[in-house]
Copies of this chain bind each other. A is one copy, B any other.
Amino acid sequence: MAEFKPPQNNLLHIEVINAIINAIVSGELKPGDHIVEQHIAQQMQISRAPVREAIRELAAQDIIRLIPRKGAFVAPLDPKNIEGIYLLRSYLEGLAARLAVLRLTEADLNELYLLNYQMGEAALKNNVNTFIDLDLRFHDFICQHCAHPQLKKMIDGVQLQTKLFMNMSKWHLAAHSELHREMNAHQPLLEALRARNQDEAEMRMREHIIMAGNLLLEYLVNKKSITNREQNGDHVGV
């Protein structure tokens, strides 16, 4: 029997969501930019209704800031905020790890170990995109096994933001030189999971995320001071 796949999303607003996210990731839409419903609607040759829904949904995830009767704006990206986001993420994913300890089977653990191994390979090959993708799958895998849909949803939202941060700041371009620092970042967490130690798993997950946040932050501050130097010839001390 031939394969009859169900038609993928015929829901317009979901395609709009993806389109907007892509536009932000690709830098086409920059933080602070005004998102005009009709412009998107015309470009995608659809009406404003699904565009509106997409914007509202992204606003619920804080990707977009909504101001009544003025419009939608791409959320600003400031380091102060990033620190808070990563702190939040560390708490949420820490809790997810704690809950996942109760549910991960041996097969699940093996899968995680495999992902971790592949990350090591990608790091050695300096393959940043593969590394980031594997890292995301690693975290997702744990969060999916926490059996807490609402927590999962929150984490997805925060993760999307961090993904945007990384892309907007073109972090991945500079990550080559940082990969070695992240290479074995999951090891302590994995051991805690295997030992079925909830406290330890939560703690390690938190540490790991805070560390990743600091790495990004460090890069951002660096870049900014370099940019400033370039712009006004001023030397900014470390």
Indicate whether A172 reaches chain B with its CB closer than 8 angstroms: no
Residue tally, chain A, CB below 8 Å to B: 22
Indicate whether A163 reaches chain B with its CB closer than 8 angstroms: no
Contacts of A53 in B (CB 8 A): 52-53, 56
> Please, what's the 1-or-0 string for A83-101, where 1 marks a CB less than 8 Å from any CB in chain B?
0110110011001000000
Indicate whether A238 reaches chain B with its CB closer than 8 angstroms: no
| A88 interface neighbour in B49, B84, B87, B151, Cβ under 8 Å | B151
| A87 interface neighbour in B95, B153, B154, Cβ under 8 Å | B95
Chain B residue with minimal CB distance to A150? Answer: B62
Within 8 A of B (CB), among A120-155: 148, 150-151, 153-154
Bound Cα distance from A85 to B49, whole angstroms: 33
Bound Cα distance from A95 to B68, whole angstroms: 30
Contacts of A178 in B (CB 8 A): none
10 new A-B contacts at CB < 8 Å, known A53-B56, A88-B95: A49-B49, A52-B53, A56-B56, A56-B57, A57-B60, A60-B60, A60-B61, A62-B150, A84-B150, A91-B91
